Amino acid sequence: MLPLNQTWPAELAARYRAAGYWRGETFFSFLRDRVAEHPDRIAIVGGGQRWSYAELAARAEKAAAGFLALGLRPGDRVVVQLGNIPEFFAAVFGLFRAGLVPVYALPAHRLTEITHFVQKSEAAGYLAAARGLDGFDYTAIARALPEAAPTLRQVILVGETSEFVPFDSLDGDRATLPADPDPSSVAFLQISGGTTGLSKLIPRTHDDYIYSFRASNALCDVTGDSVYLVALPAAHNFPMSSPGHMGTLYAGGRVVLSPLPNPDTAFPLIAAENVTITGLVPPLALLWAQAASAGTKHDLSSLDVLLVGGAKLTPEAARRLRAALSCRLQQVFGMAEGLVNYTRLDDPESQILETQGRPQSPGDEVLILDDLGEPVPEGEPGHLLTRGPYTIRAYHNDDAANARSFTPDGFYRTGDIVRRTPEGNLVVQGRAGDHINRAGEKISAEEIEDHLLAHDAVFDAVVVSVPDEFLGERSCAFVIPRGAAPKGAALKAWMRGRGIADFKVPDQVVIVAEFETTAAGKISRKELRARLRARLLADEAAG
């Protein structure tokens, strides 16, 4: 099993410790501290349950002892695929307590993606819900997985199961629980948005990640009185740490779980639990704003801070939000690899509406470079690169991606094109890579093209992003058929059958006879995508 590493050069690590960024806490040590301070305060509300801090920790310890009793060993990886249910927290704090390493999959992922995560992380366990909040039957994944993933030794399911280990049955001798891990060790693996090919795995340490949400708490006014609504999937980095459920638990606040992100589900929870803060992607925020303006019987007045990020919020959309909601607005531009930028709550209105904010930590180093790697003149757009106390230095087990994504002196190439305003805020202008940001879900064009090419009737395929009024961007696949042209709907159904997340199935399929090529013949994939996108937009504009 490949060891998990995430190391900063000694001199930088020393600087981050001296500055007080890294304090030597671990995930379970902070939970233990909160239990000591206020055992009876409510930590988690969801699925008809209310768990105090003491109860959360007790449930996590029970699960932790159970994981070890099953033969899982500290350092083993466990792919966790749970929705916004309380067991998510019992499971992940249980894994932390046992020294096991969660690999965070999203509920939308299907067999193909889960297989990739298990293989890439050499996971020993898969932990999912027998039935998802959307009704999906995850036992189908659980059954198919072991064949493709020889490292897998245990499958644990939340809910009814006779074939696999029921999560609730986990228990064991608390004396077997190990000492807290080294705070500089890898605590978990996040999934990258994936700009090229399959998702990469992002190793985050206790020190770096805890710092990230502690810094966020300070900028988002999160305290022990905060009530955070998890509307986006709990396993995503944004609702986890910006400042998210982890920031809220760290502060001793309350986390409320919304099983679905729509207003009908979320609004009653806001009213009933006096939710003070939440985070949404732009399309959802606009949907909430629309529902609120249309008039709702639910009292939303407790909502104090709304964070919007994951994809670009246009100034005009920000103004619409501002008009419809009476809470404070904060833009967040972050990435699972690290760097998080926020507009500050007391920034002038124009900066909150028109920029994506500035780095949250004085330790964040940001470069804006031209195509040749030289700094652009101040205010001009360029490639954003970053390095700092909570930005990774390498992906797990991926030399090719690491060579592409990091400079020799350890800067991460974000792939985003930004410019900096005179006040120091970043404005996201676009990106260099070929992914589709579909309502905050990142889709690799290359990954989807590879799927399409596996279809018998597809000779060639190019996937591009197209601006979309509601989603921000949607995906469009241009397909050259081999023989009789496949129907778009049939192709989409076939894609779904390949066991991939629904959000990756192309929104639109356009059958073409050929791709435009230059007189010189071959052009790059990137150039081809750009031309096809331009052609589609021109056709649409022409009606």
Chain residues binding ligand OOB by CB under 6 A are: 193, 237-238, 242, 309-312, 331-336, 340, 356, 414, 416, 428, 431, 437, 440, 442
Residue 66 or 243: the one with the smaller Cβ distance to ligand OOB is 243
Residue 158 or 317: the one with the smaller Cβ distance to ligand OOB is 317
Alpha-carbon 526 to chain mean position: 25
Q: Least separation, in Å, of the C-beta of 383 and ligand OOB?
A: 11
Residue 148 or 417: the one with the smaller Cβ distance to ligand OOB is 417
Q: Least separation, in Å, of the C-beta of 340 and ligand OOB?
A: 6
SS3 453: helix
| Identity of the residue numbered 192 | S
Number of H helices, E strands in the chain: 17, 25
What are the respective helix, strand and coil percentages of the chain, to the nearest 5? 35, 25, 40
d(CA 510, CA 405): 32
d(CA 194, CA 244): 22
Q: Choose among 520, 515, 507: nearest CA to 535.
A: 515
Residue 41 or 328: the one with the smaller Cβ distance to ligand OOB is 328
Backbone dihedral region for residue 424 (phi beyond 0: left; psi -120 to 50: alpha; all else: beta): left
Contacts of 398 (CB under 8 A, 6+ apart): 200, 201
Q: Least separation, in Å, of the C-beta of 216 and ligand OOB?
A: 9
Q: Least separation, in Å, of the C-beta of 110 and ligand OOB?
A: 18
Q: Least separation, in Å, of the C-beta of 97 and ligand OOB?
A: 25
Q: Least separation, in Å, of the C-beta of 444 and ligand OOB?
A: 12
Q: Least separation, in Å, of the C-beta of 237 and ligand OOB?
A: 4
Dihedral of CA atoms 402, 391, 15, 370 in degrees, nearest 10, equals: 70
Query: Mind spelling out the 3-state secondary structure of 356-375?
Result: CCEECCCCCEEEEECCCCCE
Residue 90 or 339: the one with the smaller Cβ distance to ligand OOB is 339
Residue 149 or 198: the one with the smaller Cβ distance to ligand OOB is 198
| Strand 365-369, strand 441-444: pairing | unpaired
Residue 248 or 331: the one with the smaller Cβ distance to ligand OOB is 331
Q: Least separation, in Å, of the C-beta of 294 and ligand OOB?
A: 26
Residue 139 or 195: the one with the smaller Cβ distance to ligand OOB is 195
Which residue(s) pair with 466 in the sheet? 474
Residue 115 or 386: the one with the smaller Cβ distance to ligand OOB is 386
Residue 378, Cβ density class (10 Å: 0-12 exposed, 13-18 middle, ≥19 buried): exposed
Residue tagged 């999906």 (tokens): 136
The answer to whether 107 and 136 are in contact (CB under 8 A) is: yes
d(CA 275, CA 238): 17
Q: Least separation, in Å, of the C-beta of 483 and ligand OOB?
A: 38
Give the residue closest to ligand OOB by C-beta.
334
